[in-house]
Amino acid sequence: MARGTRTSLEVSVRAGARIYTGAMLVFLIVPVLVVLPLSFTSGQLLVFPLPGWSLQWYEDFFTNPIWTNALRNSVWIGVVVTALATTLGTAAAIGLHGCKARWAGAVMALLVMPLAIPVVIVAVATFYFFAALGLVGTYAGIVLAHTVLALPFVVVTVSATLQGFDPNLVRAAASLGASPFLAFRTVTLPIIAPGVVSGALFAFVTSFDELVVAIFLSSPQQRTLPRQIFSGVSENISPTITAAAVVLLVVSVALMGIMELLRRRSEKLKMAGGQTT
Amino acid sequence: MLALMAPSVVFVCFLFALPIVLFLFRAIDNAEIPEALPRTTAAIAEWREGELPPEPVYAALVSDLAALRGTPQLALLARRLNYAIPGFRGVVTRTGRLLPQSMPESPKAALIAIDATWADPAAWGVLRQQSGKVTDFYLLSALDLKRDPSGSVVDVDRDHAIFVDLYGRTLTVSIGVTLLCVAIGYPVAAVMAQATPAAANWLLMAILVPFWTSLLVRSTAWVILLQNEGLVNKTLIWLGAIDAPLALVFNRTGVYIAMVHVLLPYMILPLYSVMKGISPSHLRAAASLGASPVRVFFTVYLPLTMPGVAAGATLVFVSAVGFYVTPALVGGPRDQMIGYFIAYFTNSAVNWGLASALGAFLLVLVAATYLVLGKLVGFERLKVR
Amino acid sequence: MFRKPAVGIALAVAFMGAAAQAQQTVTIVNQGGAPAEAQRVAVFEPFSRETGIRVVVDTYNQELARLRSQIETKNLIWDVVSLNPINEAAGCEEGLLEKIDWKSMVDPRPFAAVGGFGECGAPYLISPGVMVYDADRISADRAPKSWTDFWDVAKFPGKRGLLYQPDQMLEVALIADGVLPPDVPKALTAPGGVDRAFRKLAEIKPHVRWWRSGDESMQLIMTGEVEMGYGWQGRVNAANAANKRNLKIVWPAGYVNAIIYLGVMKGTPRKADAIKLIQYNLAANTLARYAEIMGLPPANADTYPLLSESKRADLPGQYLDRGMMQGGQLYINFWLDNGDAIRQRFATFVAQ
C-alpha cells in the first residue's frame, strides 16, 4: 500500500519535472525564434501581430551598402582570424602536447586566459594599447584582437584531440627519414584534423559573433554585422536588424551544428579505438 | 616543441597580457599633470597648506599655462583637473584664455583677478595632491572616496557617490542570476540525465541552439518580447491575467530575465555532464535499503551533483559580473553594472583612469571568485563542454 | 612550417587596410536615424555622384568625449561632425575642431537669421525639441496642452520619455516650472537656476524612461512604452511618414530650438574634401531636398522659397515666440564653463 502511494507520488513528481523542463525549454528557445517571423514583417515596427508578410527587410539587408559592407567585413575578418588563430593555436597545442615540463601548464593557462577575463576589460585594454599603436579603426586591429579571443578555442579543441595521440609516432616517422613537415602532414594532421576543423569553426564563430571588441576598435568602415546590429538596436531602429539577426543566427547555428557533429564523430571514433586496443 | 609554442605565447603576451598590465597601470598613472605643469608641481611641493601659496608658485603656474596656451594639452589638463575639482575645467580654460601676454608684476593678483578660485587655499591643496607621478585618486574615486584638502580620505558628497552602489548592484544581480540559474537549471539537467538517449539528444539541441546564438540577438529578442506591446504582455492581457501591460523591460526584471536566459546553458551543461556520470545503480542501492526518494535525493544525489552545481555557478557568476551588452540593451539607467561604466568612462566620458580603476576592481572580483570556487571544485571542471 | 602562412596572412591584413584607405572617402558623423537617412539620400549620394568622393556615415549622440578620445589618441575616425550649439562652441575652444573662415567661402547673408557662422562650425538646420504624443492613443480632449500637464502624472498617468542629456532637459524643466521659453537662458544661468531645474526633474524622475537616440524616442511613443515624450521635430515627421502614424507635436507648450552645425575634425588629412562636403550641404537646393524629406527648418534662408507649400506648413512659423533658442553668449558660455559638472551631476541624478 505504502509502496503504491510512493510510486504515484513519484509519477507525479516525474510528470511535474517533465512539464517544468518543457516550460524551461520554451523559455530557452522562444527568444531565439522570435526574430524569425519579425524579419518578414511588412510593417515598420518590431511588434506582434504582424500587419502582413514581406521580404523588404531582407532586400534592404542585401542591397543597402551599410549592411552589405558589414556582412563583407564580418566574413573577411572572420576568415583571416580563423586562419591566424588556427595556425597559431594548432602549433601551440602540438608543442604543448609534446612538452612534459612543469611550466607547460602555465603556458596553457596563459593561452586560455583571454576566455576567463570579462571581455569588456579585454576590449578596453586593447583599445588603449592599440590607440597608442595607431591600430584603432583598422582592419588589422580588429583581426588581432579577435584572434586573441579565438585562440583559446583552437588550443583547447586541438589539445583535446591530441590526448590519445602518441608523440612517438612522429619520432618514428622522423627516424624513417621524414622531414618534420612531412611527418606532420602524414602522421599528426590526419589524427588531429577533426579538432583543427572544429577549432577553426569555433574561431570563425567567435569573430563573427563578437560585439564588444568591435564596439571599441572599429570605425564605421570596419563595422561588423554585430556592431551594425547593435547600432541598429539603439540608433537606427528598423526591422532590417531582425533580418541581419536571422543571418547571424543561421550562420552561427549552422557552423556550430557542424562542429557538434564532428565532436560526436570523433568521440565515437575514440570509443571505437579504445575498444580495439 | 618550444618553437611551436613560441608564436602563440609571444602573440598572447604582446596583444593580451601587456595591454591588460598597461590598462591596470592607468589606474594609478598621473603623468599628465607633472608633464603639463612642470614648474608648478615643482614649486608647490615647498608650500604647506593653510594659507595661499607664495608668489613663486603663482608665477610658475602663469608660465606653465602660458606654455600650454593654444595647444590641446591645455584642454587635456583642464579636463584632468576637473575630475578632482568639479568646475575646474572652466577655471583652467578661462585662465588660459585671459592670461596676460607677459609675466605680470604680481602673478598672484593677476590670476585671482581672472578667477576667484585661485584665491581658494582648498583648490591649491587639491592641486598639490594631484602633482605626483602616481596617484590614488582614481582608485579612491572608484570607491566613492576622495582626499580632502588636508590629505585625509573622506567620502565624496552624496551627489557624486555612485560606485559603492554600483558594486552592490553588480553583486546583487550576479548572485541573483546565479541562484536563479541553479534553481532553474538543476531540475532541467536532472530530467535530461535520466531521459532516454534520443530524448536527451533533443533536449541538448534545445539548449545548444540558444547557447550558440549571438548574445546580441538574444538580448534584442527579449526587448521585443517584453516591451509594453510585446508578445508576453499581449498574451497575458489576452489570457485576462492582467489588465494593463507589466513593466518587464528597461528595468531590473528585464535584466534578470535576459541574463538568466543567456547564462542558463552555462549552468545546465556542466551539471548535465556530472549527473550523467552518476550511475543509476547507486541510487537504486540506496532506495533498496529503504530510503525514501526524498532521502535518496538529499543524502546521495545532491552531494554527488554538488561539483556540477559549483562549477556551473562559478561560470555563471564570473560571466555575470562582467556583463555589459545585455544590461545596456534591456536595463534602465539604474540597472547598469560595472562593465557598462568601464565602457562609459572609456568611450563617452574619456576618464580613462577611472575606467581602469573600475576594471581593476572587477578583475579582483573575478580572480577572487576563480580562486575560491576553483579551489573548491578543481579548475579542470571549469569548462562548459 | 607554421610561419609562412602567418606571414601571408599578415600581408593580407595589411593589404585589406591599405585597400580600404586608398579610396577617397570622407567620414561624417551625425545622430543617425531618419535624418541621417534623409541626409544620405538628399546630400551624400548626389555629392558622391558629382565629386567621386565616397561618404561614410557614423552615428553618435553628441558625446563630445568621442571627439576628444580621437584627438588625444591620434586615431581620427571622423572628418565631418554634426554638432549642437554647445558642442560647436566647446569643441572649438578645446581645439577639437578646425577653425574655418566660412564667410570667405559661403555667402553669409542667408545664414544671418540663425546667428551666422561659428568660429568652427557652419549652421545647416534648426532642430526643435518638442513635446509629442500619439493622437491615435490619446484623444484631443485628454491630450496634454503644456509642460505643466506633462509633469502632472495624476491627471495624465503613464510613463514619460525624456532625453538622457542635461542640455535641453534642464531647459524643459524650467519651462515646466513656469519660465517663459524666451526667458529660459536667463533663468538657467541665474544663481540657483540649475538647482531649480534639477528639483523640477526630480519630481517626474520616477515616471521617466530616458532615451538616448532620436529613433528610440519615437519608438517609445509608437509602441506605447511611454504616454508622451520629448522628441525632435524631424523624427516626428519621419515617424509619421514612414509608419503612417498620427504623432502630434504640442507646439504651444513651448520647445527648445537647437541650431545644428557642421564642423571639421582638427588635423584631419581630408580637410579639403570635408569642407567641400559641408559647402555642398549648405547650398540652398541641397537643403531644400533635405527639408522636403525631413520637414526640418533649414538654416539657409534662401532655402525657404524653394520649399513646397505643404513643407512650409510643417514648420513652426506661427509659434516662433514659444521657442527657446539654444544660443547667445550668456547661454553658450554658461554651458562651456559648467557643462562638465552638470553632465556629471545629471548622470548621477539619473543613476541614483
What are the tens digits of pLDDT across the range A33-86?
Answer: 888 999 999 888 787 788 889 999 999 999 988 899 999 999 999 999 999 999
Judge: C341–B79 Cβ closer than 8 Å, yes or no: no
Q: Rounded mean pLDDT of B68-84? A: 82
> Residue B313 and residue B323: Cα distance in Å, rounded?
15
Nearest residue on chain B to C207, judged by CA atoms?
A: B247
Chain C residues in contact with A219 (beta carbon < 8 A):
27, 58, 77
Give the mean pLDDT of chain B: 88
pLDDT of residue C114: 86
What band does B383 get if pLDDT is binned at 50, 70 and 90?
low
Q: Which amino acid is present at C72?
A: E
Q: Where in chain B is the domain with CATH 1.10.3720.10?
A: 163-381
Give residues 222 to 251 of B whose Cβ lies within 8 Å of A.
222-225, 227, 229-231, 234
CB atoms within 10 A of CB A27: 16
Handedness of CA C179, C183, C187, C189 (dihedral sign): positive
Give residues 283 to 322 of B whose Cβ lies within 8 Å of A.
292-293, 318-319, 321-322
Residue among B183, B203, B307 at smallest CA distance from B256: B183
Establish whether the linkage from the previous residue to A49 is cis, with ω within 30° of 0. yes
Nearest to B93 among C93, C338, C345 (CB): C93
**Residue of A64, A69, A138 to mutate, testing the C interface (most C Cβ within 10 Å of its Cβ):** A138
Judge: A237–C222 Cβ closer than 8 Å, yes or no: no
Q: Looking at residue A50, what DSSP letter applies?
A: P
Q: Rounded mean pLDDT of A173-199? A: 85
Nearest to C71 among B72, B93, B227 (CB): B72
Query: Tens of pLDDT along A139-178?
Result: 999 999 999 999 999 999 899 888 877 778 888 888 888 8
> Residue A90 and residue C6: Cα distance in Å, rounded?
13
Q: What is the largest CA-CA distance in chain B?
A: 101
Min Cα separation B342/chain A (Å): 8
Query: Tens of pLDDT along C97-156?
Result: 999 999 999 999 999 888 899 999 999 999 999 999 999 989 888 899 999 999 999 999
Query: Tens of pLDDT along C277-287?
Result: 999 999 999 99
Nearest residue on chain A to C214, judged by CA atoms?
A: A235
Of the given ranges (A87-96, A256-265, B197-206, C50-59), which has the lowest mean pLDDT?
A256-265
Chain B residues in contact with C164 (beta carbon < 8 A):
333
Judge: A131–C20 Cβ closer than 8 Å, yes or no: no
Nearest to B362 among A121, A211, A212 (CB): A121
DSSP helix/strand/coil, A237: coil
Q: Enumerate neighbours of B (3 or more CB pairs within 8 A).
A: A, C
Residue C58 has pLDDT above 50, yes or no: yes
Q: C-alpha distances in angstroms, C117 versus C114, C124, C332?
A: 9, 10, 15
Q: Rounded mean pLDDT of C175-183? A: 95
Chain A residues in contact with C31 (beta carbon < 8 A):
235
For each of the domains in chain C, give its residue range(s) and CATH number, in order of start: 3-126+259-315 (3.40.190.10), 127-257+327-351 (3.40.190.10)
> Residue C76 and residue A145: Cα distance in Å, rounded?
19
For residue A68, give every residue at least 6 positions away whose Cβ sits within 8 Å of its Cβ, in sequence order, or none: A61, A62
Q: What is the ipTM of this complex?
A: 0.89
**Residue of B201, B214, B259 to mutate, testing the A interface (most A Cβ within 10 Å of its Cβ):** B214
Phi and psi angles of residue C247, each rounded to the nearest 5 degrees, phi first: -75, 135
Check if the beta carbon of residue A228 is closer than 8 Å to that of residue A66: yes
Q: Which helix (H) or strand (E) holds B153?
A: strand B153-155
Judge: B93–C336 Cβ closer than 8 Å, yes or no: yes
Task: Say yes or no: B243 contacts chain C, CB-CB below 8 A.
Answer: no
**More confident site: C34 or C196:** C196
pTM for the model stands at 0.87
Task: Say yes or no: A182 contacts chain C, CB-CB below 8 A.
Answer: no
Residue C5 has pLDDT above 50, yes or no: no
> Residue C57 and residue C49: Cα distance in Å, rounded?
16
Min Cα separation A140/chain C (Å): 6
> Residue C74 and residue A131: Cα distance in Å, rounded?
7
DSSP helix/strand/coil, B146: strand
Number of H helices, E strands in chain B: 21, 2
Nearest residue on chain C to A91, judged by CA atoms?
A: C2
> Residue B167 and residue C126: Cα distance in Å, rounded?
42
For each of the domains in chain A, give its residue range(s) and CATH number, in order of start: 64-276 (1.10.3720.10)
Query: Tens of pLDDT along B131-180?
Result: 889 999 999 999 999 888 777 898 887 777 889 999 999 999 999 999 99
Chain B residues in contact with A18 (beta carbon < 8 A):
191
Judge: A237–C216 Cβ closer than 8 Å, yes or no: yes
Q: Enumerate neighbours of C (3 or more CB pairs within 8 A).
A: A, B
Nearest residue on chain A to C25, judged by CA atoms?
A: A221
Q: C-alpha distances in angstroms, B70 versus B28, B92, C121, C334?
A: 28, 13, 19, 21
Q: C-alpha distances in angstroms, B124 versus A195, B73, B271?
A: 63, 20, 59
Nearest to C351 among B71, B93, B162 (CB): B162
pLDDT of residue A117: 92
Query: Tens of pLDDT along B30-58?
Result: 988 999 999 999 998 888 777 888 889 99
Task: Say yes or no: C65 contacts chain A, CB-CB below 8 A.
Answer: no
Task: Say yes or no: A76 contacts chain C, CB-CB below 8 A.
Answer: yes
Nearest to A180 among C1, C27, C36 (CB): C1
What band does B127 get if pLDDT is binned at 50, 70 and 90?
confident
Residue A2 has pLDDT above 60, yes or no: no
Judge: A80–C9 Cβ closer than 8 Å, yes or no: yes
Percent residues over pLDDT 90 in chain B: 42
What is the distance, to the nearest Å, from the Cα of residue C113 to the centroid of all Cα atoms in its chain?
A: 19
Chain B residues in contact with A125 (beta carbon < 8 A):
19-20, 22-23, 359
Judge: B16–A98 Cβ closer than 8 Å, yes or no: no
Judge: B1–A230 Cβ closer than 8 Å, yes or no: no
Judge: A120–B383 Cβ closer than 8 Å, yes or no: no
**Half-sphere exposure of residue B121: CA atoms within 13 angstroms, side-chain side:** 10
> Residue B341 and residue B356: Cα distance in Å, rounded?
10
The CATH number assigned to the domain with range B163-381 reads 1.10.3720.10
Check if the beta carbon of residue B121 is closer than 8 Å to that of residue B52: yes
What are the beta bridge partners of residue B29? B134
Q: Got the DSSP string for B1-68?
A: -HHHHHHHHHHHIIIIIHHHHHHHHTTTB-THHHHH-HHHHHHHTT--TTSPPPHHHHHHHHHHHHHH
What band does C339 get if pLDDT is binned at 50, 70 and 90?
confident
